[in-house]
């Protein structure tokens, strides 16, 4: 009888632990190892601790921190940065005004995007979809991207031993962003990196490619080849200003 009573007590507790968490004007923290449903706030940051499992995590005004080895569905904020820890598994990651930074070995089943902010994918990271930003840089460190890279007003660094399928697109700025005094983007492709697909540039860029890298066809730019780990000062002086 006592065992039956204890089992009945656990049922609502388990349902609560796996339920949605929603707040308006406060931060949210999901403790390490816990299981939760959707986690959302309007004005507050969100932290998902090590090893937890959640569904969608979203806020409007606040940062999001996903610690190591977390499983999560969509991660989404409007005004705030996103930090993804080591070996995290997520479906998609998106912000409007903020930086996105991944720890080592993180996996994203779909894409990663921001409008005003940079994106950094650390060693062993694997993004199956597109990585895109408008006003921010993109940096890969021995990482893989399956859906290509896209930016307008930002530099791209594809570090050594990285792989990009789906090519690169640097779009032409629209509206007030396009002017003769604007600094053009720098695209750097490091040693033993691979870029499959077309590298298409709709505006002037400085394109540096390691002599040990493998890339697809280039449209709209002329590559400057370099030896060593990164372009030297002499390589950069070859660029017409």
Query: Could you tell me the strand order of the sheet in which 218-219 lies?
Result: 21-22, 39-43, 57-61, 74-79, 92-97, 112-114, 131-133, 149-151, 168-170, 199-201, 218-219
In the chain, where are the structural domains located? Answer: 18-174+184-237
Instruction: Provide the pLDDT confidence category of residue 30 given band limits of 50, 70 and 90.
Output: very high
Instruction: Provide the pLDDT confidence category of residue 238 given band limits of 50, 70 and 90.
Output: confident
What confidence score (pLDDT) does residue 241 get? 52
Res. 192: pLDDT tops 50: yes
- Please provide the DSSP assignment of the chain as one string: -HHHHHHHHHHHHHHHHTS-EE-SSS-EEEPTT-B-S-EEEEES-EEE-TT-B-S-EEEEES-EEE-TT-B-SEEEEEES-EEE-TT-EESEEEEEES-EEE-TT-EESS-EEESBS-EEE-TT-EESS-EEESSS-EEESS-EESS-EEESSS-EEE-TT-EEES-EEEPPP-GGG--TTSPPPEEEE-TT-EEES-EEESS--EEEEETT-EE--EES--PEEE-SSS--HHHHHTS--
Res. 15: pLDDT tops 50: no
Which tokens sit at 112?
Answer: 């990663």
| Residue pLDDT, tens place only, 97-156 | 999 999 999 999 999 999 999 999 999 999 999 999 999 999 999 999 999 999 999 999
Res. 10: pLDDT tops 50: no
Instruction: Provide the pLDDT confidence category of residue 4 given band limits of 50, 70 and 90.
Output: very low
Res. 157: pLDDT tops 80: yes
Share of the chain above pLDDT 90, in %: 83
The mean pLDDT value for 213-233 works out to 95
Instruction: Provide the pLDDT confidence category of residue 176 given band limits of 50, 70 and 90.
Output: low
Q: Give Cα separations from 132 to 28, 77, 153 (angstroms).
A: 28, 16, 11
Kindly report the pTM of this predicted structure.
Answer: 0.89
The mean pLDDT value for 156-167 works out to 98
């Amino acid at each position: 009888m006592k065992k039956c009573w204890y089992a009945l007590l656990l049922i609502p507790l388990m349902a609560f632990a796996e339920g949605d968490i929603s707040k308006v004007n406060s931060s949210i923290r999901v403790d390490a190892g816990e299981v939760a449903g959707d986690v959302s706030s309007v004005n507050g940051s969100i932290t998902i601790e090590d090893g937890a499992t959640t569904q969608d995590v979203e806020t409007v005004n606040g940062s999001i921190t996903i610690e190591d080895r977390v499983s999560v569905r969509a991660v989404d904020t409007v005004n705030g940065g996103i930090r993804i820890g080591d070996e995290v598994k997520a479906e998609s990651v998106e912000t409007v005004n903020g930086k996105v930074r991944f720890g080592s070995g993180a996996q994203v089943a779909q894409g990663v995007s921001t409008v005003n902010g940079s994106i950094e994918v650390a060693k062993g990271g694997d993004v199956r979809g597109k990585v895109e930003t408008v006003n921010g840089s993109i940096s890969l460190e021995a990482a893989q991207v399956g859906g290509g890279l896209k930016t307008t007003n930002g530099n791209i660094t594809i570090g050594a031993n990285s792989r990009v399928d789906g090519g690169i697109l640097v779009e032409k700025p629209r509206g007030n962003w396009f002017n003769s005094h604007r600094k053009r983007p720098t695209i750097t492709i490091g040693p033993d990196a691979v870029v499959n697909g077309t590298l298409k540039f709709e505006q002037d860029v400085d394109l540096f490619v390691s002599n040990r890298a493998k890339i697809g066809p280039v449209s709209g730019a002329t590559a400057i080849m370099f030896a060593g780990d990164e372009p030297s000062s002499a390589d950069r002086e070859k660029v017409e200003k």
